[in-house]
Amino acid sequence: MSESSIFITEERIEGEDEGPLAGETVAVKDNISTAGVRTTCGSEMLAEYVPPYDATVIERLTGAGATIVGKTNMDEFGMGSTTETSAFGPAPNPAAEGRVPGGSSGGSAAAVAAGEADYALGTDTGGSVRNPAAFCGVVGIKPTYGLVSRYGLVAYANSLEQIGPLAPTVEDAARVLDAISGPDDRDATTRCEGADSDYASAADGDIEGLSIGIPTELVEGADEGVREAFWDAISDLESEGASYHEVSLPSIEHAVAAYYVIAMSEASSNLARFDGVRYGPVTESGGNWNEAFAAVREQGFGEEVKRRILLGTYALSAGYHDKYYKKAQDARAWVARDFEEAFEEADVLASPTMPVPPFEVGESLEDPLQMYLADANTVPVNLANLPAISVPAGETEGLPVGVQLIGPTFGEKRIIRAASALE
């Protein structure tokens, strides 16, 4: 297995002979369960884990005729923005040699960008579909929380994550969303009241009269070349009949801190199951369970996962729960209110997807804070449980730049229509 391999495994799961995706191939992020095919989450902890069942999204894709061609590399348990925390080494970026493909769904975006699959599935907890879509020059959709079933997804942060498609075009991504969305009795978080299906039909580029809000806080801190590409894209949308104006999201300055407290807290709880008894490698302990528990986690988890478990456990501990976790939840509610007010003034919101172009390989590994801060434009969307799409918007110094379009709850058609106008 090559360290730079996009695919962790290349098993094929054949779809139906007929259906809207018949004959199409899909690569699947390696934290989504596939019956009889290894699902490692990019971790030594699950290096040999083979699920006995398919996730709902896998059932729906194969039912629509698609063929699953392999599992894609990812940051370990979804914790990272570069794919470099994977136990299998980083995936390459076909659109920018020597640069990371983004994360945590970096392998999925890279597979689409390299033409190794027609489409791919990723998961987005704080930008993990949109980040690699922007870095690899493809389209990625983060759906409204509850639109797509999470049954069969290995959980990282339950209240934040959603499964979403990556594809070469907006219409392609919308077609995959059509196939995987909808209620699921096995996932109580699915909620589709108010959802407007047939998303592919919205990719018609008709944005006459569309009002676009530009959150100043999400543009001002971006790299100069990224800002230039962003404003060029806004000019293109204006020429197609849209109008734009600036809006403000005052809570955004607290969003990254709130997100990481909440995400790490939920991760520390979710990953408690990896103890060498329920999941994970078995270690010799001489009958001392505490020593066995510590040994298997030391052996199975990488440094970034350990860091987040420790920080999350600390935030939830006695005496600190109200100081950190409760305060983060208050900030989350503030972020959601700011978005609601912004959508009273605009149909969609727009920003650069990532404030910087793709990192050089190895650039962010020694500075985790730099990696966390790079999520500044994407994590607010997850805190507010809103839909967003990243669409290619040119380059800066030969490196891909993405524009993020954000919609209100179940506003997928709005953002798909606006994104298709950029194509």
* DSSP secondary structure of 192-210: -TT----GGGGTT---TT-
Residue at 109 is within a domain: yes
User: Percent of the chain beyond pLDDT 90?
Assistant: 83
Nearest to 174 by CA among 211, 202, 149, 204: 202
- Give me the mean pLDDT over the 317-336 stretch: 94
No. of H helices and E strands in the chain? 12, 11
Decide: 408 and 338 in contact? Cβ < 8 Å.
no
Q: Quick one: 275 exposed, middle or buried, by C-beta within 10 A (0-12, 13-18, 19+)? A: middle
Residue at 365 is within a domain: yes
Residue 128 is among the residues annotated as catalytic for this protein: yes
Tokens 């797509």 — which residue? Answer: 148
- Give me the mean pLDDT over the 302-331 stretch: 93
Marked catalytic residue, from 33, 86, 104, 149: 104
Residue 235 is among the residues annotated as catalytic for this protein: no
How many structural domains does the chain have? Answer: 1
* Maximum Cα–Cα distance across the chain: 71
Angstrom distance (rounded) from CA 386 to CA 185: 22
Peptide bond into 104 cis (omega under 30): yes
Greater confidence, 164 or 368?
164
Residue at 162 is within a domain: yes
**pLDDT beyond 80 at 348:** yes
Greater confidence, 12 or 153?
153
What pTM does this model have?
0.95
Residue at 173 is within a domain: yes
**pLDDT beyond 80 at 283:** no
Assign residue 77 the CATH number of its domain: 3.90.1300.10
pLDDT, position 363: 84
Marked catalytic residue, from 128, 149, 181, 364: 128
- What is the CB neighbour count within 10 angstroms for residue 330? 11
* Domain with 90 in it: 7-203+352-422
pLDDT, position 343: 98
- Give me the mean pLDDT over the 16-27 stretch: 94
pLDDT band at 117 (very low <50, low <70, confident <90, very high): very high
Angstrom distance (rounded) from CA 393 to CA 235: 11
Phi, psi for residue 384 in degrees, rounded to 5: -95, 0
pLDDT, position 120: 98
Nearest to 93 by CA among 105, 85, 76, 80: 105
* Sign of torsion over alpha carbons 154, 407, 184, 199: negative
Phi/psi-derived region of residue 348, left when phi > 0, alpha when psi is between -120 and 50, beta in every other case: beta
Paired with 25 in beta bridges are 67
pLDDT band at 2 (very low <50, low <70, confident <90, very high): very low
* Sign of torsion over alpha carbons 296, 301, 306, 309: negative
pLDDT, position 285: 66
Q: Which residues of 4-36 are buried (b: 16+ CB within 10 A; e: fewer)?
A: ebbbbbeeebebeeebebeebbbbbbbbbbbee
Residue at 128 is within a domain: yes
pLDDT band at 28 (very low <50, low <70, confident <90, very high): very high
Residue at 362 is within a domain: yes
- Give me the mean pLDDT over the 159-182 stretch: 98
**pLDDT beyond 70 at 399:** yes
Phi/psi-derived region of residue 153, left when phi > 0, alpha when psi is between -120 and 50, beta in every other case: beta
Task: Name which of 161-165, 358-362, 370-374 the model is least confident about.
Answer: 370-374
Residue at 318 is within a domain: no
pLDDT band at 320 (very low <50, low <70, confident <90, very high): confident
Angstrom distance (rounded) from CA 362 to CA 116: 25
Phi, psi for residue 374 in degrees, rounded to 5: -65, -15
Helix boundaries (H) for 301-403: 303-316, 327-342, 368-373, 379-383
**pLDDT beyond 60 at 287:** yes
- Give me the mean pLDDT over the 131-151 stretch: 98
Residue at 387 is within a domain: yes
Residue 104 is among the residues annotated as catalytic for this protein: yes
Phi, psi for residue 287 in degrees, rounded to 5: 90, 0
Decide: 121 and 69 in contact? Cβ < 8 Å.
no
